[in-house]
């Protein structure tokens, strides 16, 4: 069991939703939280909320994780001001929620940059210290859409497939480079955050819309237990073995479960404005 107490923990996209709840859960266990987000108001609120728990001081930094240079510069500040990060939770994500041909080029690019490319920049910034210490944990919040393509989520699915592949490749590299540095990939079905407002499920007893507070608790538990994968609900685990079936049959099962109609009534939420830190930072 990994002890959270006293660890420097960085959560991207931590000013709201799943990131905020995971931060609160880890703070209650004595973790020293560092929150990155593009929403200055939300960031300030969460840092105040974390500080009110009477644990270690929390820190908030404005950072657009799709901006490689901003990631590197902010990471250097964090290391200098807080110390090496020991648990990195790559949680920041965006979703366009549109059919492929309805997505603008800018929406597609933004999805890939935030959901996939940002993983490379944050890992390059913080993994070297973990490897040098021969201990640490890298958490990648992916999606069930990273193991099965979903209509209306072409850009999102592609970015989350990339996230799953990234986690697996890094895990293999770390087996030799630093076995004490662990990884966890998280692949949940739709979560009841504003990000996926309006999505529906055909069989809620098989594929329930997940509660974000319960998922946050599961993520923290997975980190503490050094679990390599967290797929939820259980039906997500069946996707891999189902791939031995002929493609037509596999697709028919997805249709039967309503996977490709889940986004038909998607509303989502307005994207938070991307705020930049002052130039002298």
Q: What secondary structure does DSSP assign to 3-71, as a single string?
A: --TT-EEEEETTTSHHHHHHHHHHHHTT-EEEEEES-HHHHHHHHHHHHTTTSSPPEEEE--TT-HHHH
The yes-or-no answer on residue 156 being catalytic is: yes
* Per-residue buried b or exposed e for 120-142, using 16+ beta carbons within 10 Å of the residue's own CB: ebbbebbbebbbeeeebbbbbbb
Q: Exactly one of 61, 72, 156, 189 is catalytic; name it.
A: 156
Q: Which of 128, 119, 111, 18 is nearest to 76 (CA)?
A: 128
Length of the chain: 281
Report in angstroms the alpha-carbon separations of 251 from 149, 255, 259: 10, 6, 10
> Which residues are the active-site residues?
156
């Amino acid at each position: 069991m990994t002890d959270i107490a006293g660890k420097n923990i960085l959560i991207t996209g931590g000013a709201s939703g799943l990131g905020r709840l995971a931060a609160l859960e880890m703070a209650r266990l004595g973790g020293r939280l560092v929150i990155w987000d593009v929403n200055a108001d939300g960031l300030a609120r969460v840092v105040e909320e974390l500080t009110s728990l009477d644990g270690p001081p929390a820190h908030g930094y404005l950072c657009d994780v799709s901006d490689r240079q901003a990631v590197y510069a902010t990471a250097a500040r964090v290391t200098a001001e807080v110390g090496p990060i020991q648990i990195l939770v790559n949680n920041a994500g965006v979703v366009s929620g549109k059919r492929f041909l309805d997505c603008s080029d800018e929406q597609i690019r933004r999805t890939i940059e935030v959901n996939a490319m940002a993983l490379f920049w944050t890992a390059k910034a913080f993994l070297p210290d973990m490897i040098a210490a021969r201990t640490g944990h890298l958490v990648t919040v992916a999606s069930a859409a990273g193991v099965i393509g979903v209509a209306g989520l072409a850009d999102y699915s592609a970015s989350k497939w990339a996230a799953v592949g990234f986690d697996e490749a890094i895990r293999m590299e770390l087996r030799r480079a630093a076995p004490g540095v662990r990884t966890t990939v998280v692949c949940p079905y739709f979560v009841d955050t504003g990000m996926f407002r309006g999505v529906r499920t055909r069989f809620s007893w098989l594929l329930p819309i997940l509660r974000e507070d319960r998922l946050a608790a599961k993520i923290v538990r997975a980190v503490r237990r050094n679990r390599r994968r967290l797929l939820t609900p259980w039906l997500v685990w069946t996707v891999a073995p189902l791939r031995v079936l002929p493609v037509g049959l596999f697709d028919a099962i997805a249709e039967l479960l309503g996977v490709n109609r889940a986004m038909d009534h998607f509303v989502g939420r307005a994207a938070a404005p991307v705020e930049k830190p002052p130039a002298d930072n």
